[in-house]
Amino acid sequence: MPFNQKPQKFNAKINSVTIGSGDKTVTIGGDSTFPFYTFDAPSENCPKIGVEISDMGLEGVSEGIKAYYDGASTMADIAKKAAAMEGADFVALILEGGDPNGENKSIDELIAVVKEVADAVDCPLVVEGCKNVEKDAELLPKVAEVLQGRNALILSEKEENYKAIGAAAGLAYNQIVGAESAVDINLAKQLNVVTTQLGVDPKKIVMNIGSAAAGYGYEYVVSTMDRIKGAALGQNDNMLQMPIITPVSAETWGVKEATASEADMPEWGPQDERGIDMEIMTAAADLAAGSDAVILRHPESVKTISKMIKALV
């Protein structure tokens, strides 16, 4: 008796959301199977990779990343190099310098950076706020305004500031809204519901359901993504069919495994190598669980994850 292969077919699919304008666009989402289950149905659209750059320039990045950007002295140079990275589909600018508990850069200063980056590259753009909900509520609508026409993804609106950011990005300036929740299927759905109630088109929402580095409570990420994909495909829940984008690097480059110097932990070996593997493995796990796009920092990680995606679809 031969093996009876039973495909798992769903009559639902993840929304496809296109970011960018002109002939440089990238589409994320669109599949109707669990991640990389090409044996159930061919993949319509493979997962995408963004390269993270920060308004803080190259401050605090690892040696390998610094080496890649060698010679880039302005944000425009950095953005160009990021866009040219092998395997990169888009550039993700994080405005971490805006954090009131950190550098606390002014909004004007940050908008100038956004403009400089946007003028330097014509690839699809993702802009992440500083993670402080009050500051982001002021900052991100301005970002959406200056990027008019770019069809950029604005990360992130949260439960606390969805009105300001969702309305500006999704309604006033016609960008893609990134809805960020904290690793919980109900919170993710709730935010999608209230965002669409503002009048934002569900097909213009991308979710960031929250993330963790491998080993740091990652089980919650796995189960949240498993359940979201299960509900989106199996139960045709259209408030969970938004594609998922996961900013991996912001988590992985901050954990001890990536930040401890070789001098402090000689048996652990080269620091850059540890950071790369932490980023690669967390990204691979995110993609296996259901991320439709990941944001990475190190050129080697971008290259490797791109290779893995190509090998699997």
Partner 1 sequence: MALNGIQIFKLTPKKNCKECGCPTCMAFAMKVAQGAMQIEQCPHMSEDALATLSEATAPPMKTIKIGTGDGEFTLGGETVLYRHEKTFVSKTRYAVSLCTGMSDAEVEAKLAEIPVVDYERIGERMHVELVYVNCGADADAAKYTALVEKAKGLGRTLILGCTDPEIAKAALEVCKDSKPVLNGANASNYEAMNAVATEAGVVLGVSGKDINELYDTTAALEKLGNKNLILDTTGADAKETFANTVLVRRAALKDQDRTFGYPSLVNLVKIAQGDKHLQAALAALFTMKYGSIVVMEEMTYAEALPLYGLRQNVFTDPQKPMKVEPGIYPLNGADENSLVVTTVDFALTYFVVSGELERSGVPLNFVINDAGGLSVLTSWAAGKFSGTSISEFIKENVEPKVKCRKLVIPGKVAVLKGDLEAKLPGWEIIVGPREAVQLVKFLKDMQA
**Binding stretches for partner 1 (CB under 8 A):** 1-6, 8, 36-39, 101, 213-220, 222-223, 226-227, 230, 252, 254-257, 259, 267-270, 273-274, 276-278, 280-285, 287-289, 300-301, 303-305, 307-308, 311-313
What CA dihedral angle connects 163, 164, 169 and 172, to 10 degrees?
Answer: 100
Q: How far is the CB of 125 from partner 1 (least distance, A)?
A: 26
Question: How are beta strands 125-128 and 153-157 bridged, if at all?
Answer: parallel
Q: Are 272 and 293 in contact (CB under 8 A)?
A: no
Coil, strand or helix: which one is 17?
A: strand
Query: How far apart are the C-alpha atoms of 237 and 242, rounded to whole Å?
Result: 10
Query: How far apart are the C-alpha atoms of 170 and 242, rounded to whole Å?
Result: 14
Query: How far apart are the C-alpha atoms of 118 and 128, rounded to whole Å?
Result: 14
Q: Are 177 and 165 in contact (CB under 8 A)?
A: yes
Q: How far is the CB of 214 from partner 1 (least distance, A)?
A: 4
Comparing CB distances to partner 1, the nearer of 203 and 303 is: 303
| Cβ neighbours of 221 (radius 10 Å) | 25
List beta partners, residue 294: 49, 246
Q: How far is the CB of 42 from partner 1 (least distance, A)?
A: 12
Coil, strand or helix: which one is 298?
A: coil
Query: How far apart are the C-alpha atoms of 250 and 80, rounded to whole Å?
Result: 20
Structure tokens at 99: 């954090």
Comparing CB distances to partner 1, the nearer of 191 and 284 is: 284
Comparing CB distances to partner 1, the nearer of 154 and 308 is: 308
Comparing CB distances to partner 1, the nearer of 108 and 311 is: 311
Comparing CB distances to partner 1, the nearer of 27 and 304 is: 304
Q: How far is the CB of 61 from partner 1 (least distance, A)?
A: 16
Q: How far is the CB of 281 from partner 1 (least distance, A)?
A: 4
Q: How far is the CB of 6 from partner 1 (least distance, A)?
A: 5
Q: How far is the CB of 246 from partner 1 (least distance, A)?
A: 14
Coil, strand or helix: which one is 118?
A: helix
| Cβ neighbours of 171 (radius 10 Å) | 16
Comparing CB distances to partner 1, the nearer of 37 and 145 is: 37
Coil, strand or helix: which one is 305?
A: helix
Q: How far is the CB of 101 from partner 1 (least distance, A)?
A: 5
Comparing CB distances to partner 1, the nearer of 203 and 256 is: 256
Q: What is the largest CA-CA distance in the chain?
A: 70
Comparing CB distances to partner 1, the nearer of 15 and 271 is: 271
